[in-house]
Amino acid sequence: MQVIDHLGRSFSSLRVSLLNTCNLSCSYCVSDNEQKKNSTNALSWQNLCSIIEKLEKNLNISTIRLTGGEPTIYKNIIPVIKYLKTNSKAQIKITTNGYLLKNVLENLDNNFPDAINISLDTLQEKTFYSLSKKKNIQKVLDAIEYALDCQIKIKINTVVIKNTNDTEINDLLVWAGKRNIPIRFLELMRMGHFFQNNKFESSFISQQEIISKISNQFNIKELGRLKNATSHDWETQEGYKFGVIANESVPFCNDCNRLRLDSYGNIYGCLSSNLPIDITKIADHFTLKKHLLEALSHKKETKFEGSELSMLKIGG
Ligand code: SF4
C-alpha cells in the first residue's frame, strides 16, 4: 500500500517534537500567560526512537528533524542524537533557539547532526529580551560560531515581526552573509495565540515587504524554491544567500512532504490540521499505512490556514 495522495505528495521528512517545553518565551510562539506544561506522560526516548524506526521502515524518510519546544533542553537529547546517527539512514537535523546548543555540541563526541537551523530574530540584546523574555543573546551568537567551527551545516531562521525586528532584516542578512550562513526570513504564522486573536494583522510582514526592504540596499537574484522546500531563495550581489518562508502569502502545500511526530507518539499530517493520530499501539504495517494515509489526507490543498496549536507543542 503506497502512502501517496492525489497531488503525488508523500512523507519523506519526519519532524519529531521531543517535548513541549522551551527555555525561551518568544512572543510569536507563546502568549504571556501561556503556562509551559511539562510533558508528564511523554514516551521514553527509547520508545520514541522505536516509533521513528517503525516509520522509517514504512516510508522513504530522507530527513529526521528534531524539534520541540526546544530540543536542547530535552534531557535525553545526547543519546537520541547518537542513536539516530548510528541507526538511521536519514539525515539527522535539529531546529533550535541555540541558547544551550554549545553545551549539547560539546557533549556529542563529534556525533554532530548533519545540519542545524538556529533561530536568531535579532542582534540586539534589548530586542532579544523583549522578544524571548531571556537575557544574554551572546549565548546564541557563541553557539553559532561554535557550530561553524565544528563545520556543521547551519541555517539561520528569523521570524519577522512588524515594529519589533523588521528594521534589522538587512543587518541580519549582512551578519549571516559575512559568515557564509544562509538566512531565512519567516512570515509570522497564524498559530497558537496568534490564531485566536487579531494581533496577527498588526504584526505581520509579507514576503513582498521583506524583499522590498532588502532590494532597497542590495541587488538580488531570485533562485526559486527547491522541490519540497519551505523557503523561496535569493542571492545578493555580494553572494549572501537568503530565503523567505512565506506560509501566509506564498504557500507551498502543493509538494509538502512533512510528517510530524510528537513526544506522546501522535502523528500529524499537517501543521494546519490539529488532528493527532496515536500510533503507539500499532504493530502491523497494514494498520500503520492506513493511519499514515489518514494523516496525509489532513494536508491542506493550497495553503496553511492557521492552527490553535502553538510551535511549543508541535515544533516547526
Ligand atoms: S499547511 Fe500543511 S500541507 Fe501546507 S505546508 Fe504546512 S504542513 Fe504542509
Give the CATH number, domain containing residue 270. 3.20.20.70
Q: Is 29 helix (H, G, I), strand (E, B) or coil?
A: coil
Query: Cell 530535552 identifies what position?
Result: 74
Residue to mutate (ligand 1; options 250, 272, 297, 301; most atoms within 8 A of CB): 272
Q: Is 251 helix (H, G, I), strand (E, B) or coil?
A: coil
Residue to mutate (ligand 1; options 186, 228, 300; most atoms within 8 A of CB): 300
Residue ranges making up the domain that contains 293: 13-314
Encode the chain (316 residues) as per-residue pLDDT tens digits.
679 999 999 999 999 999 999 999 999 998 766 655 555 678 999 999 999 999 999 999 999 999 999 999 999 999 999 999 999 999 999 999 999 999 999 999 999 999 999 999 999 999 999 999 999 999 999 999 999 999 999 999 999 999 999 999 999 999 999 999 999 999 999 998 888 677 899 999 999 999 999 999 999 999 999 999 999 999 999 999 999 999 999 999 999 999 999 999 999 999 998 899 999 998 899 999 999 999 999 999 999 999 988 888 887 6
Q: Which of 20, 25, 65, 39 is nearest to 257 (CA)?
A: 65
Q: Is position 6 within any domain?
A: no
Beta carbon of 256 within 6 Å of any ligand 1 atom: yes
- What pLDDT sits at residue 310? 84
Note the pTM of the prediction, 2 decimals.
Answer: 0.95
- What pLDDT sits at residue 195? 83
Residue to mutate (ligand 1; options 189, 270, 303; most atoms within 8 A of CB): 270
Beta carbon of 258 within 6 Å of any ligand 1 atom: yes
Residue 4 zone, left/alpha/beta (φ > 0; ψ -120 to 50; rest): beta
Total tally of structural domains belonging to the chain:
1
Rounded to whole angstroms, the Cα distance separating 171 from 168 reads 5
**Burial environment of residue 161 by CB neighbours within 10 A (0 to 12, 13 to 18, 19 or more):** buried
Q: Is position 4 within any domain?
A: no
Q: Is position 3 within any domain?
A: no
95's enclosing H/E stretch is: strand 91-96
Q: Is position 227 within any domain?
A: yes
Q: Is position 5 within any domain?
A: no
Q: Identity (one letter) of the amino acid at 296?
A: L
Beta carbon of 300 within 6 Å of any ligand 1 atom: yes
Contacts 24+ apart (CB under 8 A), 246-250: 246/187, 246/206, 246/207, 247/186, 247/187, 247/189, 247/303, 247/304, 248/187, 248/188, 248/189, 248/190, 248/204, 248/206, 248/303, 248/304, 249/187, 249/206, 249/207, 249/208, 250/207
Q: Is position 234 within any domain?
A: yes
Number of H helices, E strands in the chain: 10, 12
Rounded to whole angstroms, the Cα distance separating 271 from 248 reads 13
- What pLDDT sits at residue 16? 97
> How many angstroms separate the alpha carbon of residue 134 from the centre of ligand 1?
30
Q: Is position 7 within any domain?
A: no
Q: Is position 2 within any domain?
A: no
